[in-house]
Amino acid sequence: MEQILSNSSFDLFTETNTFKPVAHLGICKLSEQKIILLEHTWVDPQKRHQGWAEKLLTAFMQVSEFQEFKILPLCPYAKFFFSQHPEFKHHLINQ
């Protein structure tokens, strides 16, 4: 699984398809405040219901570049993810 991070997104690619992401997370990085907004998630329709959204958020939370940032999930799935993963809750802005 390949990961690509930009200022506005975090994408996961399968090893067999590096042209189209299998999962996408739209983000907005507020550098001065050290806050990252999780705006939306998207998973390829053929890969839905196979755990890719969870893999996407887990991989994003493990990116060391953002360990000092606080997270504000705006996306409904991201909110659900944090409710199911207490190991990452300390990264939330209200925690």
Cα–Cα distance for residue pair 57/49, rounded to 1 Å: 15
Give the model's pLDDT for residue 1. Answer: 74
Residues 6+ apart with CB under 8 A from 76: none
Tally: H helices and E strands in the chain? 2, 5
Q: Name which of 73, 13, 80, 82 is nearest 40 in CA terms.
A: 73
**Strand segments (E) across 14-76:** 23-30, 35-43, 70-73
Q: What tokens appear for 41 in the block?
A: 């998630």
Most confident segment among 22-26, 61-65, 86-90? 22-26
What's the confidence (pLDDT) of residue 5?
Answer: 82
pLDDT score, position 65: 66
If you search the block for the tokens 């060391």, which residue do you land on? Answer: 64
DSSP character at residue 44 = -
Q: What is the pLDDT of residues 48-76, one digit of tens each?
A: 999 999 999 999 998 866 778 899 999 99
